[in-house]
Amino acid sequence: MPENGATHHQEAKVPLLEQHLLDDPKHQQALVLQDDPREERLSRRVLVESKKLWHIVGPAIISRITSYSMLVITQAFAGHLGDLELGAISIANNVIVGFDFGLLLGMASALETLCGQAYGAKKYYMLGVYMQRSWIVLFLCCVLLLPLYLFASPFLKLLGQPHELAEMSGMASVWMIPLHFSFAFQFPLQRFLQSQLKNMVIAWVSVAALVVHVIVSWLLVYRLQLGLIGTAMTLNFSWWALVLGHLGYTLCGGCPLTWTGFSIEAFSGLWEFTKLSAASGVMLCLENWYYRILILMTGNLKNAEIAVDALSICMTINGWEMMIPFAFFAATGVRVANELGAGNGKGAKFATIVSVMTSIIIGLVFWVLIMCFHDKLAWIFSSSEPVLHAVNRLSILLAFTVLLNSVQPVLSGVAVGSGWQKYVAYINLGCYYLIGVPLGFLMGWVFEQGVMGIWAGMIFGGTAVQTLILAIITLRCDWEKEVCKTTYFALTTLAH
């Protein structure tokens, strides 16, 4: 069955097009070589779906890479202040900020399910209400997580981090509290705009915020000589610039159908909304925290400073590249939710296939690049010879991590679009923490393989198994049944 009116219209023209080509001698040879007309129809469907997908993915890649580049630039500034400063800002970014970043990002991803399906069902008013509910829930969650920033130093010492590294990381974390609260508004705003395909707005605001970040970084670190505190403060400026840019667009008439002003209705149904947000948060944060645990485990090895620096650089490069699969995660969630909301199960299935295959191809390209330039990856972050050598040794694991992560986030995007967050949370818990972490500990300490053993155990034990399970679930999915669930959801929830 055709996906939409546009595709049906194109397919209806195929017989006339073929007759025209038969009458044209220039195309007779091409027609002889065409064995199966179904291949042409498939290629057209792939082209149509790819256009829809990249309409979301392209701007999403820009916005995510620019947002993550703020963290990378901050880490690069800190790295050239010294190895200890690099380790401190890496711990603050990857453990303290990363800890609640994963939870809040996951909780906001509930909007990809709700807003995506509401938009597909043409319940436009509910998008604004859902976003306001998300603001309330995420802000309260930020208040509850505030002690993590205030008591970061003793928390890190409790986890076995070196005293001086923990103290400096804790100081940086306190200065990042405004960044922490910006997440509560930025993540829902981004998903609100993304669900209605306002992707170029997100991209342009992100580019503007990156420019602000570079200027403020130069001013605070080099000009005013504020050192590590200056690098931490720059993130506050740039992330609030993102919030104000997206909020300004929304409030000033950019979304007339979906934003009709602040509504008291946002305070109703908070418990049901919180449960879905919590399931989404657990699903994503279990994965996000997995790599933070990897860094914490490395901090307990001998010569921890060099090991943490090298692994943090690899995780930063991996995180930078992961913005592309995360863009596919977001786009797949939107496409699947829109198709299910419109009652098109086959369209949701086809969107999944195209998204997964495209992301795998991009992952293979980056795998090749990392394998070719393995000895040059760390130059942007450090000039320390021990750190450069350690990153070079870890690069092969980085390459395979990138390859695996080109598949897993896309499958998670299918789960978000379909509303399977609760089930994926259980899968993540089992694969990451019952298989991956114990295997990493076994390889790192029992078999004395150090950081390479920890990372290899966690990647090939946890991530690979989780990806395989998600792939099997997606392949066995009954998409028509999912349409029925979505229709029931629309009648019982969206109507209210």
Residue that wins the pLDDT comparison between 39 and 125: 125
Q: How confident is the model at residue 139 (pLDDT cuts 50, 70, 90)?
A: very high
According to DSSP, residue 252 is labeled I
Say what the pLDDT of residue 222 is. 79
Position 491 confidence tier, pLDDT thresholds 50, 70, 90: low
Q: By CB neighbour count within 10 A (0-12 exposed, 13-18 middle, 19+ buried), where does 448 fall?
A: exposed
Lowest-confidence pick of 14-23, 298-307, 486-495 = 14-23
Sign, CA torsion 473/55/364/294: negative
Query: Residue range 263-283: average pLDDT?
Result: 80
pLDDT at 26: 44
- Look at residue 6 in the predicted model and tell me its pLDDT: 42
Give me the pLDDT at residue 5, please: 42
> Could you tell me if 125 and 208 are in contact, meaning their C-beta atoms sit under 8 angstroms apart?
no
181 has pLDDT over 60: yes
pLDDT of residue 302: 66
Residue 159 clears pLDDT 70, i.e. is over it: yes
d(CA 322, CA 267): 35
At residue 394, what are phi and psi to the nearest 5 degrees? Answer: -85, -10
- For residue 341, which of 493, 156, 116 has the smallest C-alpha distance? 116
Mean pLDDT over all residues of the chain?
Answer: 80
User: What residue type is 105 in one-letter code?
Assistant: L
Range of lowest pLDDT (78-92, 141-155, 257-271, 281-295) = 281-295
* 190: pLDDT strictly greater than 70: yes
Taking 60 as the threshold, does the pLDDT of residue 185 lie above it? yes
- In this model, does residue 297 exceed pLDDT 80? no
pLDDT the model gives residue 355: 92
Give the model's pLDDT for residue 299.
Answer: 67
Q: How much helix, strand and coil, in percent to the nearest 5, is found in the chain?
A: 85, 0, 15
Question: Which of the two residues, 98 and 295, has the higher pLDDT score?
Answer: 98
> What was the pLDDT predicted at 377?
79
Intra-chain end-to-end CA distance of the chain, in Å:
32
* Dihedral pair phi/psi, residue 313, rounded to 5°: -65, -45
Residue 368 has pLDDT above 90, yes or no: yes
Q: Is the pLDDT of residue 8 over 80?
A: no
User: Residue 367 above 90 pLDDT?
Assistant: yes
pLDDT of residue 448: 77
Question: Which pLDDT belongs to residue 40?
Answer: 53
* Residue type present at position 412: S
Supply angle C-alpha 326, 459, 376, rounded to 5. 75
pLDDT at 197: 80
| C-alpha to C-alpha distance for 180 and 355, rounded to whole angstroms | 32
Which of residues 36 and 339 earns the better pLDDT score? 339
* Angle between helices 408-418 and 345-372 in degrees, nearest 10: 160
Please give the average per-residue pLDDT across 299-315, as a whole number.
74
Provide the pLDDT for residue 489.
53
Percent of the chain with pLDDT over 90: 18
Confidence class for position 15, pLDDT limits 50, 70, 90: very low
* pLDDT (mean) for 301-321: 77
79-98 tens-digit pLDDT: 767 777 777 887 888 778 87
Residue 130 scores a pLDDT above 80: yes
Please classify residue 80 by burial: count the beta carbons closer than 10 Å to its beta carbon, then call 0-12 exposed, 13-18 middle and 19+ buried: middle
State the Cα–Cα distance between residues 201 and 189, nearest whole angstrom. Answer: 11
Q: Are 286 and 433 in contact (CB under 8 A)?
A: yes
For the segment 65-82, what is each residue's pLDDT rounded down to a tens digit? 888 788 778 877 777 677
**C-alpha closest to that of 186 among 215, 159, 209:** 209
Quote the CA–CA distance of 210 and 450 in Å, as a whole number. 36
Residues 360 and 440: beta-carbon distance below 8 Å: no
Tell me the three state secondary structure of residue 299: coil
Mean per-residue pLDDT for 102-115?
80
Range with top average pLDDT, 56-65, 110-119, 135-144: 135-144
> Each residue of 410-446: pLDDT tens digit?
887 787 667 777 787 788 888 888 898 889 888 887 8
Specify the pLDDT at position 179: 92
The candidate with the shortest Cα–Cα distance to 323, out of 53, 59, 54, 68, is: 68
Give the start-end residues of each E strand in 66-219.
none
Q: Which residue has the tokens 């930020």?
A: 142
pLDDT for 488 equals 57
Q: What is the pLDDT of residue 29?
A: 44
